[in-house]
Structure formats: C-alpha cells, structure tokens
Amino acid sequence: MNLYNWENSARANHKKVKKTGTVVLHPDEHVDTDFEQLRKTVKVDRSHHGKNYMEEHGLVKGEEERSVLMSDMTIKTLRDTMGFTALLPGQAQCYRGIFVGRDVILHSRTGSGKTLAYVLPLVERHLLVESGDAAGKKRRAADDAARGPFLIVFVFSVDLAVQTKQVIQRVYPQLRVAVAGMDAVAPDAREGPLDVLVGTVRAVDEAVRGRKVAAEATAAEEKEKALEAQRLAPQGAGKKRARPAAGDDASGADDAELEEDPEADVGTVQQQGEVSAADVRAIVIDEVDTTLGPRFSSLGRRMKNLLKYIRRANGSLAEGLLTDMRSHHYVLCGATIPNWVIKAGFLGVKKYYYQLVAAGSVKLPEGLEVLRMPCPYEVRVRTAAQLLRSQHDFFGRTIVFGTPKQVAALEKELLAAVPAALSVRTLTEAKDEVERLSAVEDFNSKTADTLLCTDIAARGLDMVEAQTVLMLSLPSHVLAAETFVHRAGRTARVFHTGRCLVLHDATEREVLDGIARTTHATFKLFVPAGAAAEAGGAKKGKAEPSATVRLQLTVRNPFQFTKPNVKVPSAVEVLEKQLANSPLRASLTLEASESPEVVRFSVPASVAHEVKAKLWKYKLEELH
C-alpha cells in the first residue's frame, strides 16, 4: 500500500481546509482467492455516518459490529450456478475494501469480472449487515416507507444496464432489480420494494427526481450542446478541431466541476419520482470515463445535482449538519481510468484506487493474440466477407467492428450468399433498444455466430465465448488506444483465449504503431490460407508467412534543443544492447547507414512482433 498523493489547501487556517488523498493498491499476485477467507468476520464501522444515523439504525458508538464477508448461500450459488471455484484475483483484492464501505476506484482489464467485483461485496453488506439493523426492520415493517433501492448503478447504455441486471439476478434471484426507463420501478405489493436500480444518468434521474426535474435537466444539456456546437462552428471550415488527450487537465475540467453549487436547482425530497433515494447506501459508476465523460461535461454537472439530491434524501446532507456525513459510499470502475477520474471531487476523504492492471504495462487480456493484415480500405468489406466464409473454422464465433457504412455493406455481402454460411446479427446505433438486445442475446445464446457492430458494442458488454474480434477500421481519435483495448477485450475474457485481427493500410500505420506503443500489443502479420499456401505450404490461417520485414530504428537526443551536448548511444548500439542476449539477434540482417541516429535492418516476419516488443521504448518504423 502506497500513499499516492496528499493535497492540502494553501490557506492552512481557513475553516474549509480539505485534506484528500488516494491510496493506490497495485496488483497482488499472492492475494487469497479462496472462498474460505470470506467466512472470516470483519469489523464494520459506521460511526463516521454521524450521530443521527447511528441512532436511527439502533447502533451504539464504540460497540463493535462484526460480520462475515459472504453468506454460505451465496458461496453455494457461485459454485453451483456460476461455476466459480474461487474468486478471481481482482475480485478478491478489492472485496474487503468495498464491503467495509470505502470509496473505491477499480481499474481492471476488460473481461476480468468487474461487475461481480462490486456487486458481491455491496449486496452481501446489505444482506448481512444493513438489512438486520433496527432501521432496516422498521423500513420493512412500513410498506409505504421502503420505496427505494439500496444500490444505484450508473452505466452508459441501456444494453449494459440489461446485462448488469442479468448478472445480479443470476447470483441474487431474491432481489428485485430494475433497469431505469425499461422496467417498472415503483413499489409493488406483490414483489415488494425495489432493491437495485440500474440505468443511464438520464433514466435514473427521471426515476429518482421525477420527469419534470429530469426534463429540465435534459433541456439544459441539449441547450449547452447546441451552444457549444455553435461556438465551434467557425473553426470547422475543413479543419479538424484538436481534442484534449485523456488525462490532460489544461481545461480545468476535473473535480472542480463537481464541487457544490448552492444555487443549483437539484429538486427537493418531496419533488421525487417513482423511487425514493432515502434508502440508498451505495452508488456505482461503471465504465466511469464514458458514463461521466467526456471529462465531467454537462452530463457530469447533472450527475452532481442528482448525487446532491440523493444525499438530501438519505440524510447525508441536512440543514444544521456541520459536516456532510454520507450514509452511502461510491465505487467507480472501468478498464481505462483517465487522471480526471482519479481526482473526482465527489469521492470521500480517502479514496482507495485498486489498480489491478500494472501501470504502463499490459492492458490487453492475457490470452489475446493480436494480428494485423495489410488491406486497402476500398476492398475491406469484400475481404472480410471472404475471410469469414472461407476460414470460418479458424475464426469461429466472430465480432466485427466497423463504421456504420462498413457494417451495413458487410451484412449485405454476407447475407447475399445462398445458402448462407453464417448466422449474422447486427448491432448499430440505427437499431432500437429491443433489436440491439435481441442481437446480443442471439449471439450469446449461440443462435448467431457472427456479430457485426459499431463502437456502441465496444464497451462493457460481455460476449459469450467470442473467439475472434475483426476490426475493419482503426479508431483514429485521441482515445484510439483506449477504444482499441475495449474492442479487443470482447474476446479472451476471464481466462479464455482469443484473437484480434486488424485490417489496415499504409495510411493507418502511424495509428497502429501508436496503439502498439500505448498498449504494449505485439502485432503478428496474418496471411489468409490461400496466400499462405502460395508462400510455402503454410497451414490454414497461419499468422506468419515465410517473408521478411524491413524495420528502421531511430535514436535521437530527446533534449537536443536544451542539452545538445548530451551523449546518446547510436541506433546500432541500442539495437545490439536490446537484443544482446536474445536469439533474435542472429535473425537480423543490418543495412548500411549514413547516420548514427538511424539503422535499417531486415527480420523474418515470423519474429517481427518479438523484435518490436523488445524495442517498444524507441521509435521503430516498418518500411515498405
């Protein structure tokens, strides 16, 4: 455990001095994942909620409150229904911290079990601790009082909301879980009060604060977007506007935008929607960089007002309280966590940042093989159709990512074959919610073996046993690497293996190289079965032909303008040093060079990705 960053106000004597910090917990390879460790009791401290909360819940300050971490029934369900023999490492590492009520940021790879990582400790805490206290019994006795959920999960799309609901109900069928905007959320005489509410910010806002307040907030959002578009219009004229990189705080759009605004109209507790926020004890924001993005814009301010409303409803924020003693805590999670998320101002005094992927290292699933195939843009749809039809045994169950135009053309191309060799479904923005959900369900139930989609399906959704991800185009914006990680992460999930194939041309090599450097992906050259046979009788779907690749390594003084006299090793010396103890050195053929800063060499295509992995810190280009 490392103390990462403490920030203190410069005005040390000011009464509003705030002391905040983040404790970073790095990946722990030796974490105990066995279910037996969850049978141990742990102290549950709720005194920080304040005197009123303690009295309402029948608690005595100083009295030790202990609970096991998971019930035997849940352990049995995980084993028998879900097939778990133990928790996944990421789930085990953050379980206790979430259970005891810490504000947590959970950073983990795609397909690593993040949904259950927050669901299990939050629900177990509710069932084992909060449902048995005096206030919980009192709420259950009054049918009209228990109207609200104890857990709210914010997501960025209805598709992800439905999937999250299914995961929760599979483990906890006794809970009433609803998707805001789709399911009935009001109290039901037969089913009882709502336990968990899942949905987008807009949908949850309408369910909690009511249609009138939510409609006003939506109108304000749309007005702000229109003004922003109008402001940027003169810059258009054939010029692309530069967008700030993820984590760049130059615009100041960080936690400051979620500070309290006393003049904001957040609505009153009497002015509520179909559900009450009085019983909310935990708030989760899944895929936080997208759900609150981009970088706490108008959507973030709407979230701020909604969170303030919830704190008023559950007694955290009340007149006469000198301190905001929250009755709930937050869990933020995602596969990509920009800096502005870590600095989120609405989190508590101390944030626990479970960085379950090593900083600056592997960001893709461990069992993922990454391939690339040169292909002109104008023939990619036809090429993809040929690959999917002729090499179906190699590709298996495939998810194809492309632009809306590419997806529509590929769907037409694949369905034109008679009889159809593939069962195809499409998932795009043009489809309504029912059609999108049906497409995912058909793929996950194996009714369909090929799913064509845009980036609407790149994040969050769990695709069952997807064996290949095929990309018809690369993301080209400033978040290209993050989008690539989410796309590729639809396969090789939770200890499974998979492959990702990217079709690209010379104009996209710079983007491809940037993605490789950022994600540490090592792209292997893929050759289709027919071409591989011509190259020397290679096996069907072989990823490497018997050919060579020319590379250029450039090593320059990074401080040439400020410290021009700094001695920098030549490109040849760097190459020799990095490959000195590797058998790869014998496969290199060096070319004559006129400059010590540049060295060109040839390497067999079968090991080119390994050479690139060794030299990932340096500028390495593939020559044509």
Ranges of each domain in the chain: 22-33+88-131+146-214+267-359, 368-528, 548-623
| Cα gap 205→201, rounded to integer Å | 6
**C-alpha span between 352 and 372 (Å, rounded):** 38
**The predicted structure's pLDDT at residue 203:** 94
Yes or no: say if 461 and 453 are a contact pair by the CB < 8 Å rule.
Answer: no
Q: Are 500 and 471 in contact (CB under 8 A)?
A: yes
- Where does 22-33+88-131+146-214+267-359 sit in CATH, by number? 3.40.50.300
Do 113 and 333 meet the contact criterion of CB atoms below 8 Å apart? no
Query: What is the C-alpha separation between 278 and 272, in angstroms, rounded?
Result: 11
Strand order in the sheet with 329-334: 2-8, 19-25, 350-355, 103-107, 329-334, 282-285, 151-154, 196-199, 177-179
Say yes or no: do domains 22-33+88-131+146-214+267-359 and 368-528 share a fold.
Answer: yes
> In sequence order, which residues have a C-beta less than 8 Å from that of residue 265 and are 6 or more positions away?
213, 216, 305
Higher pLDDT, 263 or 305: 305
CATH code reported for the domain at 548-623: 3.30.70
Q: Tell me, which fold does domain 368-528 have in CATH? A: Rossmann fold (3.40.50)
**Range name among 82-91, 174-183, 266-275, 321-330 with the lowest pLDDT average:** 266-275
CA dist 451 → 338, 398, 428, 444 (Å):
29, 6, 10, 10
413, burial (CB in 10 Å: exposed 0-12, middle 13-18, buried 19+): middle
Residue 537: both structure tokens together: 């009788």
Q: Which of 46-50, 87-91, 411-415 has the lowest mean pLDDT?
A: 46-50
Give me the pLDDT at residue 111, please: 79
What the block records as the tokens of 592 is: 């004559």
Give 345-377 pLDDT, tens digit per residue. 777 667 888 888 654 445 677 788 899 999 999
- Separation between Cα atoms, residue 533 and residue 510, nearest integer Å: 30
Taking residues 204-222, report their average pLDDT: 84
Residue 588's closest CA among 536, 556, 552, 545? Answer: 552
pLDDT tens per residue, range 545-589: 447 888 999 998 887 778 888 888 999 999 999 998 888 888 899
* Peptide bond just before 27 cis, omega within 30 deg: no
Summarize pLDDT for 388-445 with one digit per residue, the tens.
988 888 899 999 999 999 999 999 999 887 566 789 999 998 888 889 889 999 999 9
